[in-house]
Amino acid sequence: MSRQPPSNTEDGQAATLASIVFERLREDILESRWLPGEKLRIEALQTHYDVGASPIREALNRLSSVGLVEQVERRGFRVATLSDDDLLDLVRARRLLNEVVVRESLLNADEAWEEKVVFAYHRMWRCPMTTASGHTNREWELLHRKFHASIIAACPSKRLLDFHEQLFDSADRHRRRNVRNLDEEFTRVEHREMMEAAVSRDIPLTIKLLNDSIDTLVAHLDHAPGDKDRPVESVGEDAGSMDRDPVAG
C-alpha cells in the first residue's frame, strides 16, 4: 500500500511549529541564553524545546538567513559571533538604511499610520522596561520593536522593511547585553521625541533622532577597530551624550 502524501493540514501544522521554534530560538539568542559562538546541536535543541528535528532544522536555516546563526561546514550550526568591527559595520548600515526607509515611510504616511505610531508609543511608555531583578522585560522588548516598526510601516518596499528588521535583530543582540546600564528616563524622553517628530512628518529630525539612538551602541568603544586615529563618535554626525546609556533603537 502506497504512503499517502501529507495533507495540507499537516503541512500547515509543521509550518506553524517551525515558526514557533524560530521565534523562541530567536528570542533566546537575542537574550543571550545561547551565547555568541555557542554550538547549536540539533539533538540538544530537540530536548530543550521539546520538538522534533525537522522544525529545529527549519528554524536554524531561517535564523541563518537573517544572520543570527552561522552554519559551519561539516560542523553544524552555532550562534553568530559578535565583534566590534561587526558592530561598527552594523551601525553604519542601519544609519544609511534609515535615510531611505524613514523618508519613504513619512512621505507615504496617512492618518491611520499616525494613529498606530502614537498607540505603539503609548503602549511602550506604559510598560516597565526591566523586571524587579534588573533583567529585560520581554513585554517591553516586544513593544519597543513594534514602536520602531510602526514608524517605518508606511514604507512601500517590503524588501527594505525585511532588511531593516534583520539589522534591528542584529543590533538588539548588542543592545540587550547592556540593558542593566540603561537610563530609563532618558530612553522614555528619547522615544517620545522620535514619535513627535515622526507624526509631525519631520523627516530630517526623525532620521537624526533614530540615528543618534543607534550611535549609542558604539559609545562604549574608545576607537573604531582598524582605525585607531578616528573616534567612534564620527560614525554619526551627532552621537549625543556619552555619559548615559539609553536604549538604542
Residue 102 sits in the same domain as residue 151: yes
Looking at the structure of the chain, the number of domains it has is: 2
Residue ranges making up the domain that contains 188:
84-235
Final residue of a structural domain among 79, 111, 138: 79
Residue with cell 558604539: 218
| C-alpha cell recorded at residue 213 | 539612538
H or E element in which residue 50 lies? none
Tens digit of pLDDT for each residue in 123-136? 999 998 888 877 77
**pLDDT given at position 111:** 97
Report CA dihedral (194, 195, 200, 203) to the nearest 10 degrees. Answer: 40
Residue 72 sits in the same domain as residue 91: no
Long-range contacts of 121-124 (CB under 8 A, 24+ apart): 121/147, 121/150, 121/191, 121/192, 121/195, 123/147, 124/191
Task: Indicate whether 247 belongs to any domain.
Answer: no
User: Cβ-count burial of 202 within 10 angstroms (0-12 exposed, 13-18 middle, 19+ buried)?
Assistant: middle
Task: Indicate whether 96 belongs to any domain.
Answer: yes
Tens digit of pLDDT for each residue in 10-19? 445 556 888 9
> The whole model's pTM is what?
0.73
Phi-psi group of 62: left, alpha or beta (phi > 0 → left; psi -120 to 50 → alpha; rest → beta): alpha
Are 79 and 29 in contact by the 8 Å Cβ rule? The answer is: yes
* Other Cβ atoms within 10 Å of 54 Cβ, number: 14
Task: Indicate whether 248 belongs to any domain.
Answer: no
**pLDDT given at position 8:** 46
